[in-house]
């Protein structure tokens, strides 16, 4: 019988949590915490990091936690363990998203190693893309990988539909930017240059003056009138890229977790091929616009994320809290 030492278990748990914290999250809020008991990791949603205006139901928070869960699973597989996962194992404890245990030993394949290497390399892009194609072969792979986690990633082939999604994104951005409460919530997660914070969106995480794409997908205004942003050359970054919508058949908490896992699987596979993604959620934060998208463009399925995939030369660095900062007592 294969027995594992306390040191092996401790190492595996640490690696899994370290991978989980590199998951994407809305405004880089990192809305999670972890508790460890033996070889079991508890992933918890952190309500103190919930966007109470932009995400009152916690949908985006749980999508973020789903992405963190995928990273933890991937890290354990990269170490040669089959992760044993229970999602919402105790319904009365709503903050407890999942538990992950070290299962049987498994062989590590090349795809797992390649994907694991992308966890800290992946970045959310916040501008247009270069005029370089995203291969159809890769798009088909991303669709399959999202589906394997229980989510549907649908590339938007119709130019008219892309224009509609871009227009709804811009309309939602304009409305939110005029609302003082939304602005204040956004500014809570906007980091000024030189900030030592390890969460939120750093000033170098977006261009100082991004060029418009065609059609134009509005970006969040993290600078809010300040001369923040990086000075990367945006002259050729005018392409919207491949637009896609991530959906689920229903809109339950379990499906939000599935959406997060499908999202992260697609993002990591794209990163491995040199393709980045921009994420837009403004229109999905407004109930009537989200419902319009569901009925008119998503065949009745619930839109969970709007994405653009493309090639960029962005070399910005990500920031995350440390493992000790996200660990709680069991």
Tens digit of each residue's pLDDT, the chain (330 residues) = 468 899 999 999 999 999 999 999 999 999 999 999 999 999 999 999 999 999 999 999 999 999 999 999 999 999 999 999 999 999 999 999 999 999 999 999 999 999 999 999 999 998 899 989 999 999 999 999 999 999 999 999 999 999 999 999 999 999 999 999 999 999 999 999 989 999 999 988 888 776 788 899 999 989 887 888 877 655 557 899 999 999 999 999 999 999 999 999 999 999 999 999 999 999 999 999 999 999 999 999 999 999 999 998 776 778 999 999 999 864
Q: Which residues pair with 280 in a beta bridge?
A: 306
Q: Choose among 240, 235, 209, 207: nearest CA to 129.
A: 240
Cα 90 to the center of its chain, rounded Å: 25
Look up residue 230 and give its DSSP letter. Answer: B
Look up residue 82 and give its DSSP letter. Answer: E
pTM reported for the whole predicted model: 0.96
18/22 Cα distance (integer angstroms) = 7
In sequence order, which residues have a C-beta less than 8 Å from that of residue 187 and are 6 or more positions away? 222, 224
Residue pair 130/236 in contact by the 8 Å Cβ criterion:
yes
Q: Which residues pair with 248 in a beta bridge?
A: 302
12/70 Cα distance (integer angstroms) = 15
pLDDT at 232: 67
pLDDT at 330: 46
In sequence order, which residues have a C-beta less than 8 Å from that of residue 20 and are 6 or more positions away? 32, 34, 43, 68, 69, 71, 72, 75
Cα 46 to the center of its chain, rounded Å: 16
- Maximum alpha-carbon separation in the chain: 63
Residue pair 134/110 in contact by the 8 Å Cβ criterion:
no
Look up residue 38 and give its DSSP letter. Answer: T
In sequence order, which residues have a C-beta less than 8 Å from that of residue 320 and are 6 or more positions away? 21, 22, 30, 198, 199
Q: Choose among 289, 283, 285, 288: nearest CA to 170.
A: 283
Element (H, E) at 13: helix 6-20
Burial of 108 (0-12, 13-18, 19+ CB in 10 A): middle
Q: Is the peptide bond before 273 cis (omega within 30 degrees of 0)?
A: no
pLDDT at 233: 54
Report DSSP letters for 108-139, one per residue. Answer: PPHHHHHHHTTTTT--EE-S-B-S-PPPHHHH
Q: How many CB atoms lie within 10 A of CB 130?
A: 14
Q: Which residues pair with 190 in a beta bridge?
A: 201
177/187 Cα distance (integer angstroms) = 11
């Amino acid at each position: 019988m294969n027995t594992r030492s306390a040191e092996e278990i401790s190492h595996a748990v640490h690696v899994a949590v370290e991978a989980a914290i590199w998951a994407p999250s809305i405004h880089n809020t990192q809305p999670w915490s972890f508790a460890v008991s033996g070889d079991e990791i508890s992933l918890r949603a952190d309500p103190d990091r919930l966007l109470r205006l932009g995400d009152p139901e916690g949908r985006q928070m749980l999508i973020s936690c789903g992405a963190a869960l995928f990273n933890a699973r991937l890290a354990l597989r990269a170490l040669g363990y089959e992760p044993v996962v229970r999602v919402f194992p105790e319904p009365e404890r709503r903050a407890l998203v999942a538990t992950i245990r070290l299962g049987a030993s498994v062989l590590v394949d090349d795809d797992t190693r390649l994907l694991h290497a992308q966890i800290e390399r992946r970045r959310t892009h916040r501008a247009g893309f270069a005029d370089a194609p995203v291969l159809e072969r890769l798009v088909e792979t991303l669709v399959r990988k999202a589906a394997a986690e229980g989510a549907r990633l649908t590339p938007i082939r119709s130019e008219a539909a892309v224009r509609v999604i871009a227009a709804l994104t811009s309309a939602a951005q304009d409305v939110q930017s005029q609302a003082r409460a939304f602005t204040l919530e956004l500014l809570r997660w906007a980091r000024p240059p030189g900030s030592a914070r390890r969460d939120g969106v750093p000033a170098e995480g977006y261009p100082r003056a991004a060029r418009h794409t065609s059609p134009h997908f509005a970006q969040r205004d993290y600078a809010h009138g300040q001369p923040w942003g990086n000075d990367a050359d945006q002259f050729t970054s005018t392409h919207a890229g491949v637009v896609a919508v991530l959906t689920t058949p229903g809109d339950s908490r379990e499906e939000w977790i599935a959406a997060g896992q499908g999202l992260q699987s697609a993002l990591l596979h794209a990163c491995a091929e040199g393709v980045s993604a921009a994420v837009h959620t403004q229109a999905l934060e407004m109930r009537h616009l989200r419902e319009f998208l569901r009925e008119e463009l998503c065949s009745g399925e619930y839109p969970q994320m709007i994405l653009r995939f493309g090639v960029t030369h962005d070399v910005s660095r990500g920031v995350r809290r440390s493992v000790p900062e996200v660990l709680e007592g069991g």
